[in-house]
Amino acid sequence: MMVGVIGAGAWGTALAITAARGGADVSLWSYDGGIKEFDGVSIPDSVRVTTKLSDLSAADVWLIVTPAAYFRETLRIARPHYNGVPVIICTKGAEYSTGDFMSEVLRAELPECKDFGVLSGPQFAAEVARGVPTGSTLAGTPAARSAGAAALNQLYISESDDVIGTEICGVGKNAVALICGYTSVVSGENERAMIFTRAWGEVVNIGLALGSDVRTFLDLCGIGDLFLSATSPTSRNFSAGMAIARGEEIVGTVEGIFALGGILRRANALGVATPVLCQMHEKLNI
């Protein structure tokens, strides 16, 4: 099996390593030729790093792992090399300017893709790269789920057909993790728990308004990812929230910043009340 991975940051590199461990030949696209290196982890020989998207044209499945802010642009430049294979969206986020989820961006920019899925769950990239047991929700069409599970056979996969619910979980947990990092500095533990619970409830209400299955929010992509990201400084979103509270500089891409703005735009369009998310957006001043 040949797997094409688009995006060579921490998560993209970790997934490339995982696919290679599972027996796949991997083409890992990096816009500048660089990849994320993990301490104590070697890149398998079956991972080929490339700056040419044309090298992914023979892949059996694409894993797209670019930041949400660059997802649309990346699809546009990748489209001429797309050969109709299933696409797995591994980016958790919403487009800041539109509030669109990544599957909606995919439909707009790669309309010829008929089989796509979304991978989401409690996944710290460094642990995945080291081979630590990790579970994820994979939602999509049957063909996409089959291809994604084959490519990532080293992960425990919980399959679903609730694409939008799985995406909302990923977007929402990024936003809530950012908020929880902030409140861990400025609030007492009682208040932090209250804000955590009410903010996640608002995320669930947005999902239900879009037709999501409430059970999705109890799966790995929901409560599993929320538990991991909203309680640990290892999470970039949680640590970024802490940095904002302390007046420190934020380093690197923080999806929670884009996610919070994007999900509020979607809630407003749906007429879903989000008083806690709105209040925390104002306090974070992002």
What's the pLDDT tens digit per position in 24-82? 999 999 999 999 999 999 999 999 999 999 999 999 999 999 999 899 999 999 999 99
pLDDT at 41: 97
Above 90 in pLDDT, residue 137?
A: yes
By percentage, how much of the chain surpasses pLDDT 70?
100
Q: Are 168 and 93 in contact (CB under 8 A)?
A: no
Does domain 2-160 bear CATH number 3.30.70.330? Answer: no
Q: Where in the chain is the domain with CATH 3.40.50.720?
A: 2-160
Mean pLDDT of 228-245: 95
pLDDT at 113: 98
In whole angstroms, what is the distance from residue 248 CA to residue 17 CA?
33
- 163-284: which CATH topology? N-(1-d-carboxylethyl)-l-norvaline Dehydrogenase; domain 2 (1.10.1040)
What's the pLDDT tens digit per position in 192-223? 999 999 999 999 999 999 999 999 999 999 99
Mean pLDDT of 116-135: 97
Give 127's pLDDT tier (boundaries 50, 70, 90). very high
Mean pLDDT of 219-241: 95
By percentage, how much of the chain surpasses pLDDT 90?
93
| Token couple for 31 | 């816009």
Above 90 in pLDDT, residue 176?
A: yes
Give 286's pLDDT tier (boundaries 50, 70, 90). confident
Catalytic residue numbers, as ranges: 173
What's the pLDDT tens digit per position in 79-116? 999 999 999 999 998 888 888 999 999 999 999 999 99
Q: Where in the chain is the domain with CATH 1.10.1040.10?
A: 163-284
Above 90 in pLDDT, residue 189?
A: yes
pTM for this one? 0.94
Buried b (16+ CB within 10 A) or exposed e, 90-120: bbbbbbbeebbbbbebbeebbeebebbbbbb
Q: In terms of Cα–Cα distance, which of 4, 107, 93, 106 is closest to 48?
A: 4
